[in-house]
Amino acid sequence: MSDDASASPAAVLRTLVARAVDDDDPAGLVDRVEVAERGAGPKGGSGGGRDARTPVERLAGLIAEADGVVAVVPRFDADLARRLNESVAAVPHEVRVVFTDAAGDRLAGATGPIVRRALAERGVDAYRHDGESPVAVVLADDRAAVGLIDGDGVAALLTTDDPAVREWAAATCGRYLDAAERVTEG
């Protein structure tokens, strides 16, 4: 990642993912991914089109279309929770979510029982991981999504069906799942 603090969230996210998949050229990743940035139009990839949806809307759409989802989520704000709730409620899914950082704290805090019950009622298998995650990582069927999270929620979302990114996303989700404690009944 560049030390340039002025780099856009989309650029930071592409660099982070390129490094994670051992691709020395973040610019080479551009043709294999789509990146949506909060407050901006879509960037990157051959499938970029003119999709004006926000990163959260794109993530919710990706989840709504998938039969199976596994994710690592470090932060869970109200807008994201509402949109994902609608997506998960729309069709039956197999959804496993590992909550880390502040999201994990919500599962264990005063509102934890309410949140866990709501997740269980929607068929979401929730897990709590005591560690941290610098990004949200989602594997929805054959699509991978990586979200750069800031104090206001999802600043940028990278989506792709690129095999290297999917493989990294699957391995990342697997590592977190293996080290997490299940907090909803199955």
- Both tokens of residue 33? 């991914």
- Tens of pLDDT, residues 74-108: 987 777 777 777 777 666 678 899 999 888 888 88
Q: Closest Cα partner for 42 from 33, 65, 163?
A: 33
Distance from C-alpha of 28 to C-alpha of 138, rounded to nearest angstrom: 22
Domain spanning 9-35+54-182, CATH architecture: 2-Layer Sandwich (3.30)
Query: Which is higher by pLDDT, 162 or 7?
Result: 162
- Across the range 57-78, mean pLDDT stands at 88
Distance from C-alpha of 30 to C-alpha of 115, rounded to nearest angstrom: 37
Q: How confident is the model at residue 42 (pLDDT cuts 50, 70, 90)?
A: very low
Q: Is the dihedral of CA 133, 136, 140, 142 positive or negative?
A: negative
Distance from C-alpha of 122 to C-alpha of 119, rounded to nearest angstrom: 5
pTM: 0.85
For residue 3, the model assigns a pLDDT of 44
Edge-to-edge strands, sheet with 34-37: 34-37, 153-160, 143-150, 135-140, 68-73, 94-99, 124-128, 181-182
What are the residue ranges spanned by the domains of the chain?
9-35+54-182
Q: Closest Cα partner for 33 from 171, 144, 170?
A: 144
CA atoms within 13 A on the CB side of 129: 23
Distance from C-alpha of 116 to C-alpha of 79, rounded to nearest angstrom: 18
